[in-house]
Structure 1
Amino acid sequence: MKILFIITQSEIGGAQRYLLEFTRYLISHGHEVTIVAGEGDDELFQQSAPKLPGSDPGSLGAAPCQIKISNLIRNLNPLKDFLALLSILSILRKEKPNVLFLQSTKAGFLGSLAASILNLKPNAQNPKIIYRIGGWSFNDPRSPLANKILLWMEKISARWKDVIIVNSELDRQIAISQKIIPENKIVKIYNGIDPNSINFLPEEEAASKLSGSNPDSFEHIVIGTIANLYATKGIEYLIESANILTKTRNLKPVTFVVIGEGRERPKLEALVKKYNLENNFLLVGRISNARQYLKVFDIFVLPSVKEGFPWALLEAMSAEIPIIATDVGAISEIIGSKKEGILIPPKDAKTLADAMKYLVENPDQGRRLAKNAKEKLKKFNIEKMLSESEAILLPAHRE
């Protein structure tokens, strides 16, 4: 089967992580795969390229065809969007896929529009159109007008799609309540990981590689996260909570570490400087295979203001470290508050600081939560995610 994937950004995030896992699986099952992506650092293309056997747990002997569309961008831009549409039309004419698999709002709209235009031609062979969304973009922190436009883009383009995959019950219910698409066209498939594929670095080695010019910082309690530096990830609230926590009397010294990169860096660096946290709060940038460093964290924090189904949370569960996360997106479907972690409201630095203080002062409770979380992780199996996703590609699943 010939499958064409289109995704808006070529930098690695949750959607790209799913795409990498799924395309590797499809290629290993004999399918022909092409990946089309737009703006970004092209890390998606680099990670999907063939590697030497044994170089990485996800290595492949074969690789998908890769196509870059420079005009395919996340933000609304009529000229670039039109040019991207023309590029997608050209690619579809050439590739003639059996399945068009779309990820993210912009790619979902332009890709399904292009397919619908081509389907108007006589004797056109229509590809099955599958759209996967990991958190509806019209819930992102942006202007109400922009989010209203994005909602209508979803509603308009839904009629051109055969199946929509969501990765949480929350997103399924949002699709139904917003009347985006009939309920029988929505399929929920949870993200999943293979815990045995993660080669965690020993704590001392991870600390040595991350510490840079601050080696003494990792002798403290380390509270950290892995996240792109986007507004949706709520890192500013983690910085504000760090400012509160570091002023707490009689508390063990704490170092904060964020692994990831993004457009919010200047704003976040200014906030770190404003609170005089340069020696306590480290923005270490993007690191390849960041999850292998998780064991260096004593506490993992996910302070997002908007989420889909975060991979980093599953990986932290696998590392068996205590978790604090905001109750957004599918997070409450992954961990129960005070059962497998601590859930807090988003945009609430004081409550986040209180939760971190509690786990610093009560390590036994943290170990209990971490143990429960690792047991709960068995529910989120990568083979189940991949096999259910592949089944949707089959013609029998066309609605």
Structure 2
Amino acid sequence: MEIKITIICLIGQLGNGGSEKQLYLFLKYLDKDKYSPVVVVSSICTESRWEKQIRDELLVPVIFLGNIPKILKFVKFAWLVFKKRASIVFSWSFYTNAFFIVCPGIKFIGSLRGDLFIAKSQIGPVNYKYSLKPNYFVVNSRFLAKELTLEGIPMENISVVYNMFVHEHCSVEPSKRAEERNILRKKMGIPQDAVVVAGIGRNSFEKDLPFFLSVFEKASSSDKIIFGLLIGDIDKSIRDKIREMNLQDRFVLTGEVESARKILPAADIFFLSSVSEGMPNSLIEAIDAGCAILATDVGGVWEILEPLGTDITGKIIVSDREVPSASDKLLFLSQNPCFRKKIMEGRMKILERFNPDKIMKDYCMILEHLSPPDQM
């Protein structure tokens, strides 16, 4: 009988975010006849959506290192690697790359899935130094690969593997899509004739929702048909800001939702206002939902949108983070339904790049390259 290759997927936390979803998809499409995966979480148990699906649906063991001192986490992880007879450790978080130092002789894959210099500002210099130690890295955009090379990581030690995405909406007939849109708007109290501008995310420095509001305020002062939709758990400071701008009658705030993808079809335009991103999953979800796009020039935004061509991307990517220029682009989109339709017509070219079968081939090439010869 063929011996399976044990691969430990190490992640900092198992919450409800995009990185966790990508881990779930990786494990879902991984060849279980060849690989025996185990997930190790360096933090405490959170009972999240993705933990439940990984454990109960995919039947992949999930082990938490728990709330113990960092040095003990390293010791416990080294013991788990030995106990499980792991051949490969795949660090799914940049913050867990430092566990490389307790895995001598093990094929170790480091990751970077968000802006490196934001990570540098959030972790101590020692952890940052050791998080750059792995001999091999997987990143989800060319932008992040370039960031690693600036830190001295050779390009030949980096593989760019895009996020996986399973599209739901783009194959839906236009008439059914319009019906879904109308139902969602009626349910949320959004005028049927409004041009709805949606955003997703918590109020963090990276998401920069104040920039979203400032751009929306300026554009909506010139076009009263524009309506705002913020999806997710938006905190009090943003709610207060909306009231200060006297925009409370022009916005719907959904609160925390299980899946933004179920709400995005209500929107005409999706505005990514982030100051920092890796490969923004929300942008891909919005494209699938049929939204036209306005996005700041961060992370992998250009890589996502480049199949549309420069004639289109030049009109929808905000490169200067200035409110006047961003609001001009938003007004252009709101007042030009034919241009919005042109973006929609090109979305399959975009989504094809994130097809799970294609992405898993890239992952498999990496795993096969690193697998011990006697286990191939």
Q: TM-score, normalised to structure 2's length?
A: 0.83
Amino acid at match of 2:143: L
Amino acid at match of 2:209: I
For the structure 1 residues 397 and 234, does the alpha-carbon distance in structure 2 shift closer, same or farther, using more than 3 Å as the test?
farther
> What do residues 324-363 of structure 1 show as CA deviations (whole Å, max 9, x unaligned)?
1111111112214542561003643333222111111111
1:320 and 1:370 in contact (8 A); partners too: yes
Q: Structure 2: 5+ residue runs without aligned partners?
A: none
- Provide the aligned C-alpha RMSD in A: 3.0
SS in 2 for 1:377: helix
Task: State the identity as a percent.
Answer: 22
SS in 2 for 1:256: strand
For the structure 1 residues 29 and 239, does the alpha-carbon distance in structure 2 shift closer, same or farther, using more than 3 Å as the test?
farther
1:322 and 1:370 in contact (8 A); partners too: yes
- 1:12 is matched with 16
- Report whether the alignment pairs 1:128 with 2:107: yes
In 1: Cα distance, 2:32 partner to 2:266 partner: 34
In 2: Cα distance, 1:108 partner to 1:210 partner: 44
Range with bigger deviation, 229-238 or 356-365: 229-238
For the structure 1 residues 278 and 81, does the alpha-carbon distance in structure 2 shift closer, same or farther, using more than 3 Å as the test?
farther
Task: Describe how 1:40-51 pairs up with structure 2 within 5 A.
Answer: 42-51=48-57
1:27 and 1:63 in contact (8 A); partners too: no
Task: Describe how 1:97-112 pairs up with structure 2 within 5 A.
Answer: 97-109=86-98, 111-112=99-100
- Report whether the alignment pairs 1:288 with 2:258: yes
SS in 2 for 1:285: coil
In 1: Cα distance, 2:8 partner to 2:22 partner: 15
Counterpart pick for 1:361 among 335, 352, 360? 335
Q: CA shift at 1:188, angstroms?
A: 1.4
Counterpart pick for 1:256 among 228, 245, 248? 228
For the structure 1 residues 246 and 395, does the alpha-carbon distance in structure 2 shift closer, same or farther, using more than 3 Å as the test?
closer
Q: CA shift at 1:14, angstroms?
A: 2.7
2:137 and 2:158 in contact (8 A); partners too: yes
Q: CA shift at 1:2, angstroms?
A: 1.1
Q: TM-score, normalised to structure 1's length?
A: 0.79
Counterpart pick for 2:289 among 315, 319, 324? 319
- Residue correspondences, number: 359
- 2:118 is matched with 139
For the structure 1 residues 18 and 254, does the alpha-carbon distance in structure 2 shift closer, same or farther, using more than 3 Å as the test?
same
For the structure 1 residues 206 and 363, does the alpha-carbon distance in structure 2 shift closer, same or farther, using more than 3 Å as the test?
closer
Task: Describe how 1:1-399 pairs up with structure 2 within 5 A.
Answer: 1-26=5-30, 28-37=32-41, 38=43, 42-51=48-57, 62-71=58-67, 80-109=69-98, 111-115=99-103, 119=104, 126-139=105-118, 146=121, 149=124, 153-159=127-133, 161-179=134-152, 181-195=153-167, 202-205=177-180, 208=183, 214-217=188-191, 219-248=193-222, 251-261=223-233, 265-336=235-306, 338-340=311-313, 342-345=316-319, 347-396=321-370
In 2: Cα distance, 1:45 partner to 1:36 partner: 11
1:137 and 1:147 in contact (8 A); partners too: no
> What do residues 119-152 of structure 1 show as CA deviations (whole Å, max 9, x unaligned)?
3xxxxxx321111211234235xxx8x36845x6
For the structure 1 residues 167 and 228, does the alpha-carbon distance in structure 2 shift closer, same or farther, using more than 3 Å as the test?
same
Amino acid at match of 1:166: V
> What do residues 172-197 of structure 1 show as CA deviations (whole Å, max 9, x unaligned)?
12211221x23321111222423358
Amino acid at match of 1:45: E
Q: CA shift at 1:211, angstroms?
A: 6.5
In 2: Cα distance, 1:155 partner to 1:112 partner: 12
For the structure 1 residues 298 and 132, does the alpha-carbon distance in structure 2 shift closer, same or farther, using more than 3 Å as the test?
same
Range with bigger deviation, 364-373 or 85-94: 85-94
For the structure 1 residues 221 and 69, does the alpha-carbon distance in structure 2 shift closer, same or farther, using more than 3 Å as the test?
farther
For the structure 1 residues 287 and 353, does the alpha-carbon distance in structure 2 shift closer, same or farther, using more than 3 Å as the test?
same
For the structure 1 residues 267 and 137, does the alpha-carbon distance in structure 2 shift closer, same or farther, using more than 3 Å as the test?
farther
For the structure 1 residues 269 and 95, does the alpha-carbon distance in structure 2 shift closer, same or farther, using more than 3 Å as the test?
farther
1:193 and 1:381 in contact (8 A); partners too: yes
Q: CA shift at 1:241, angstroms?
A: 1.7
1:301 and 1:323 in contact (8 A); partners too: yes
2:180 and 2:265 in contact (8 A); partners too: no
Q: CA shift at 1:395, angstroms?
A: 4.8
1:108 and 1:157 in contact (8 A); partners too: yes
